């Protein structure tokens, strides 16, 4: 959780907020995507989080990727902006958000996998045909879009 979101939560508690997120779906040379097992909801999802005040979205995506996985993104490609009723989420701690998630894909990166232990319990690359069933609800829409895009470009 960013400092901005923490400061808001001190004032409004668990009330719904509009949350702008920046996220990255990392693809390795085998075409697998990197997912992390989140501590808060015990679901798999891609790296990402809230954008700080005055932070550029692409920089936020790179920061979140590095903080959560240890990987450094060299190039990001915009996958899409995901919002709407199906992006509304209540975290296990009761915090309620309406997410606007700006999701990038990344094939060019360096570094060694190192999970952010206070947020993540596992990091693993998965083949697209064998993704885990328990995908974090706010990530489902973008992952489906990613799979559609990959399928279209391979035809």
As a whole number of angstroms, the distance between CA 72 and CA 10 comes to 32
- For the stretch 103-113, pLDDT in tens is 999 999 999 99
Q: What is the span of the domain harbouring residue 139? A: 3-154
What pLDDT, on the 0 to 100 scale, is given for residue 129?
94
What pLDDT, on the 0 to 100 scale, is given for residue 154?
74
What pLDDT, on the 0 to 100 scale, is given for residue 114?
96
pTM: 0.94
* CATH number, position 126: 3.90.79.10
- Total structural domains within the chain: 1
What pLDDT, on the 0 to 100 scale, is given for residue 153?
79
- For the stretch 75-101, pLDDT in tens is 999 999 999 999 999 999 999 999 999
What pLDDT, on the 0 to 100 scale, is given for residue 118?
92
Q: Which residues of the chain have pLDDT under 70?
A: 155
User: Where do runs of H (alpha helix) occur along the chain?
Assistant: 3-12, 57-69, 140-154
């Amino acid at each position: 959780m960013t400092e901005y979101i923490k400061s808001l939560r001190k004032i409004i508690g668990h009330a719904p907020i509009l949350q702008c997120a920046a996220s990255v779906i990392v693809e390795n040379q085998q075409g697998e995507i990197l997912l992390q097992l989140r501590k808060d909801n015990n679901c798999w999802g891609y790296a990402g989080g809230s954008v700080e005040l005055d932070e550029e979205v692409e920089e936020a995506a790179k920061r979140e990727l590095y903080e959560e996985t240890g990987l450094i993104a060299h190039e990001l490609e915009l996958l899409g902006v995901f919002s709407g009723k199906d992006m509304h989420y209540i975290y296990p701690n009761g915090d309620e958000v309406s997410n606007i998630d700006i999701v990038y894909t990344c094939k060019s990166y360096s570094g060694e996998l190192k999970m952010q232990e206070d947020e993540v319990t596992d990091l693993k690359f998965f083949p697209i045909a064998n993704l885990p069933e328990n995908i974090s609800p706010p990530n489902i829409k973008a992952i489906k879009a990613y799979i559609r895009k990959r399928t279209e470009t391979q035809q």
